[in-house]
Amino acid sequence: MDNMLNKYSKKTRWIIISIAIFIISAGITLLLINLLPRQNTAVVTSNLTPAALVKQYVDNNKISGYTINPNFADSAISYKPSGSQYELQINATDNAQFARTSGSVASDINKAISDGSKFLSSEGFNRVADQSATNIIALIYDNQVNVCKLYGNQNTTDKSSKYGLICATKAEFADEYNTVKSLLTLDKQLGDTAGIKAITRVSHTEGNKSVSLLYITPSNSSTAPYILVYAAIDNSWSYLGKRNTPSIDAKDSFSLPSDLKAAINDPKYGGFLNKYVY
């Protein structure tokens, strides 16, 4: 190699030697990197059930002056399951709410949301939707197996406030999606569901008779929401008709279409449907 280098000027020889040293150093560095133990970068996902998540949240997220609200009734959580074009709403059995009847400040709710977000992040959750409205913060989180709704709001009039957590499994939403989808297929005139933003199912059963009301929120805000009505005897379901969601802004929305009225008054239902469709 010395004979080969002598063919070049001193400057050129130094350049060649520098390049050779760089290549050798880079090779040694790559070799050492490959020999070092690799850090486990797997995503941490909580193994806690919704009930355990809520319990742990309650144990670690209490703000001074707030107590658990024993009369808490709102357990609704909306989420768009994988493969669905629309959000679905279910009532989760695992939930908790902290409340303060007076003297709260806005920073209470900000702290509750911040602390709750950190708790969910530590359990492998990611925020997937913001369903907040006026004076209400509502954030949806999910991980590989669960869905949670973190929320808080303050009444600016009486300075009362509340915050809490609602959790359910993704399997519950998958079951609801399959149930709703099976009902929608009975409506031959429905067509594409791309125009639907959200669906809430409300069902009632007495003996061998059942009714399901699908409350539809269209994607287009200029389209009025409506209700699809289904009924079953011995779990054999039929689509009965469609009506507008009753609204004080549209007086005719309180009247049932004639075809739907005839369907719910069919003698085979024995007056059962009149309790829930009117």
The CA distance from 266 to 232, in Å, is 12
What percent of the chain lies above the pLDDT cut of 90?
Answer: 64
Inform me whether the pLDDT recorded for 44 exceeds 70. no
CATH number, residue 162: 3.30.310
Q: What is the pLDDT of residue 43?
A: 46
Residue 102 lies in a domain: yes
pTM of the model: 0.79
Q: What is the pLDDT of residue 6?
A: 52
Q: Tokens for 15?
A: 């350049």
Most confident of 4-13, 157-166, 199-208: 199-208
The CA distance from 216 to 85, in Å, is 13
- Numbers of helices and strands, H then E, in the chain: 6, 12
Range of the domain at 192: 185-275
CB-CB neighbours of 121 under 10 Å: 14
Q: What is the pLDDT of residue 26?
A: 54
Domain finish residue from 137, 169, 201? 169
Res. 157 pLDDT band, cuts 50 70 90: confident
Res. 184 pLDDT band, cuts 50 70 90: very high
Inform me whether the pLDDT recorded for 264 exceeds 50. yes
Whether residues 212 and 156 share a domain: the answer is: no
Whether residues 72 and 134 share a domain: the answer is: yes
Average pLDDT over residues 82-94: 93
Q: What is the pLDDT of residue 110?
A: 92
Q: Tokens for 30?
A: 């790559």
- Weakest mean pLDDT among 23-32, 34-43, 92-101, 218-227: 34-43
Give me the number of domains the chain comprises.
Answer: 2
Q: What is the pLDDT of residue 107?
A: 87
